[in-house]
Amino acid sequence: MTHPGFVLLDKPAGDTSFKALFPLKRLFGTRRIGHAGTLDLRASGLIIAAVERATRLLPFIEVADKTYRFKLHLGFETDTLEWDGKLVFQGEAKEITEESLKQILPDFLGEQEQIPPNYSAIKINGVRASDLTHRGRNVTLSSRKIRIDSLVCLGKSSTQLEETGKSFAVFDMECRCSKGTYIRALCRDLGHALGTYGCVSEIRRTAIGNISVENAVLPSELSLSSLLSVDKILPYPLFRLHENQIKALRDGKWISFKSESAKEESLCFAANENGMVQALCSLEPGKLRPKFFIGQDNE
């Protein structure tokens, strides 16, 4: 039986996030696979996938900040907010310089309201906004609060797409932002702030929290060694316990415990004597209280 754990996947552009998980199901022989943070079809980069009961820990990963690199196209806007979508608006952008772009970037830092793209997985009365848009329905999405911690122009892009007749200025960008931020919508808003239009290409998620895509593997390169213990991804203290203590946690009972190496009122992992993580616990004054048991029942 496969132990619970995480796998760092580098999703290729052109694959859905769901399709990227297929090799995991075959490799580990389980349908109990989940992931934190869906990527658009054309986007690539880091997905943290969970195997078996590690799926219970995904909410603790989903709240982490995300880092993206992408190309900002100025001078036109499409229905999907991607550079190869159907042209909706077109304006002038040939004179926009790297310096003028950098001048507006501080205005986008911090908490703000963002209107998501109509082509998104957000549901309206149980139906995805993208599906309603495909059917020709008028979709109006409410703004959502997001946070942008860092937004940097890396320079004028070496990839120019002026032969399409749509792109006038392309810049390489990097953004660190909160959960729920749409990079496509950010590029739209950057274009508007510059007095023109904007959209995106080549979105790549390079990090989730402190986990880098450099440590990820392509779905085609997965192996059994790709499965990582949950404590390698979530930075909580780990305590090794005796068998009777693990049994109590498995039964949902708190146990007497005191630690001088971790703060009280914090999260931690409880592992068996072999170092295998068995439960996520909250460390309270004089006790460990189980939140989720994630070990195998026969351990």
pLDDT in tens, 97-136: 899 999 999 999 999 999 888 665 655 556 555 555 555 5
Give the residue-averaged pLDDT of 173-183: 95
Q: Do 34 and 86 belong to one domain?
A: no
Q: How confident is the model at residue 150 (pLDDT cuts 50, 70, 90)?
A: very high
Residue 212 has pLDDT above 70, yes or no: yes
Residue 197 has pLDDT above 60, yes or no: yes
Residue 40 has pLDDT above 70, yes or no: yes
Q: Do 71 and 204 belong to one domain?
A: yes
Q: Do 197 and 118 belong to one domain?
A: yes
Residue 16 has pLDDT above 70, yes or no: yes
Q: Is 299 inside any structural domain?
A: no
Given 10, 40, 189, 231, which residue is catalytic? Answer: 40
Q: Do 88 and 217 belong to one domain?
A: no
SS in 3 state form for the chain?
CCCCEEEEEEECCCCCHHHHCHHHHHHHCCCCEEEECCCCCCCEEEEEEEEHHHHHHHHHHHCCCEEEEEEEEECEEECCCECCCCEEEECCCCCCCHHHHHHHHHHHCEEEEECCCCCCCCEECCEEHHHHHHCCCCCCCCCEEEEEEEEEEEEECCCCCHHHCCCCEEEEEEEEECCCCCHHHHHHHHHHHCCCCEEEEEEEEEEECCEEHHHCECHHHCCHHHCECHHHCCCCCEEECCHHHHHHHHCCCCEECCCCCCCCCEEEEEECCCCCEEEEEEEECCEEEEEEECCCCCC
Give the residue-averaged pLDDT of 50-65: 94
- Catalytic (active site) residue 107: no
Residue 137 has pLDDT above 60, yes or no: no
Q: Is 298 inside any structural domain?
A: no
The percentage of the chain sitting over the pLDDT mark of 90, rounded to a whole number, equals: 62
Report the CATH number that the domain containing residue 41 is assigned in CATH: 3.30.2350.10
Q: Do 78 and 168 belong to one domain?
A: yes
CA–CA separation, 74 vs 143, rounded Å? 23
Mean pLDDT, the chain, rounded, equals 87
Least confident of 2-6, 142-146, 259-263, 265-269: 259-263
Q: Do 57 and 144 belong to one domain?
A: no
- Position 284 scores a pLDDT of 87
Residue 202 has pLDDT above 90, yes or no: yes
Q: Do 288 and 197 belong to one domain?
A: no
Model pTM above 0.85: yes
Instruction: Count how many domains the chain has.
Output: 3
Q: Do 108 and 169 belong to one domain?
A: yes
Q: Do 274 and 249 belong to one domain?
A: yes
What's CA 189's distance to the chain center, in Å? 21
**Range of 250's domain?**
238-293
Q: Do 60 and 136 belong to one domain?
A: no
Give the residue-averaged pLDDT of 188-195: 95
Winning range, highest mean pLDDT, from 16-30, 123-137, 149-163, 257-271? 16-30
Q: How confident is the model at residue 278 (pLDDT cuts 50, 70, 90)?
A: very high
